[in-house]
Structure 1
Amino acid sequence: GPESNDLVLQLRKRGIDRVILAGMSANLCTESHMRELLEQGFDVTVVSDGTAGAKTPELGDGYAAALTNFKFIANAVVTTKAAVAAMRPVSK
């Protein structure tokens, strides 16, 4: 997660306080980054259809578990379409 690199420093240097997260492993990498960034005071939005998780008979659905946590913990959980629309400049 961000604790093992200078991501937080680089974001702060640039005045960035909002982060949109997507990634390969929802219940591992994405959730770890989300928690660390939230603890550091960032506003974190997770893109629900921009991440995935393993599903096994023994352990269950990692994506579903992570999605539940995202909804409880993240500032927002949105689709890719909503995230892209929010980043578009407003027409004058």
Structure 2
Amino acid sequence: MSQAYDPRHTAVLLVDPYNDFLSEGGKIWPRVERVARQVGLLDHLRAVIASAREAGMRLMIVPHRRWEPGDYETWDHPNPTQRAIMERHSFARGTWGGEFHPDFQPRPGDVVAREHWAQSGFANTDLDFQLKQHGITHVVLVGLLANTCVESTGRFAMELGYHVTLVRDATAAFLPEMMHAAHELNGPTFAHAITTTEELTTAFVGTRA
């Protein structure tokens, strides 16, 4: 892997690390479990984040809107995912499912962006502002889901001028076909690098002082 990641200008964007997505008993975990286990999602997320921290890179958590009573109910055109959230109350505020997975809690120096309402972590949030204020030019996207929030956030990042890296095995989706679309069909149209956890963490090690 030939990409260079300057720790002063690189951030790992951890998208939607909620218990509902990542933990046994989570509302959406049963739908993502098969692919998550196939790719070793949790271990790879831990590895990417640990390696980034050791290299002195910044972690930014990019969370979805936590559901609250009344969300979307008066909207003219909520999208299909928002309608599903309205029915199942995914990531409900004040519940275990709406808390971040215990292994991915923010630490001092991490940034938690404002919650996104749909799929892009940039739309209607402060993510771009936070990245620019911290001098970030390169973003590495991990988390969920590969073909929705991760892809939308990465595509938006490219439009804003960031260097975008996707990590094949540090994300998951409901079906293998969705992973294929995210990394083989759609990713190459906007990402500057599509890599694996092993390749990425090796590159991160090379950036340490």
TM-score bracket for the superposition, by shorter chain length: 0.7 to 0.9
Aligned length: 88
Higher strand share: 1
Higher helix share: 1
**Alpha-carbon distance, 1:73 to partner:** 2.0
Specify the alignment match of 1:72 in structure 2. 189
**Alpha-carbon distance, 1:76 to partner:** 0.4
Per mean C-alpha deviation after superposition, the further-off stretch among 4-13 and 81-90 is 81-90
Structure 1: unaligned runs, 5 residues or longer: none
The equivalences for 1:45-64 within 5 A come to 45-55=165-175, 61-64=177-180
Per mean C-alpha deviation after superposition, the further-off stretch among 31-40 and 1-10 is 1-10
Report the TM-score when normalising by structure 1: 0.85
Q: Which runs of 4+ in 1 moved over 2 A?
A: 89-92
Per mean C-alpha deviation after superposition, the further-off stretch among 65-74 and 32-41 is 65-74
| Cα deviation digits, residues 9-38 of structure 1 (max 9, x gap) | 011011110000111211101100001100
Answer with 1 or 2: which has the greater Rg. Answer: 2
Secondary structure, counterpart of 1:50 in structure 2: strand
Alpha-carbon separation, structure 2, partners of 1:90 and 1:28 = 30
Identity level (%):
35
Specify the alignment match of 2:90 in structure 1. none
The one-letter amino acid paired with 1:32 is S
The equivalences for 1:26-37 within 5 A come to 26-37=146-157
Are 2:207 and 1:87 equivalent residues in the alignment? no
Report the TM-score when normalising by structure 2: 0.39
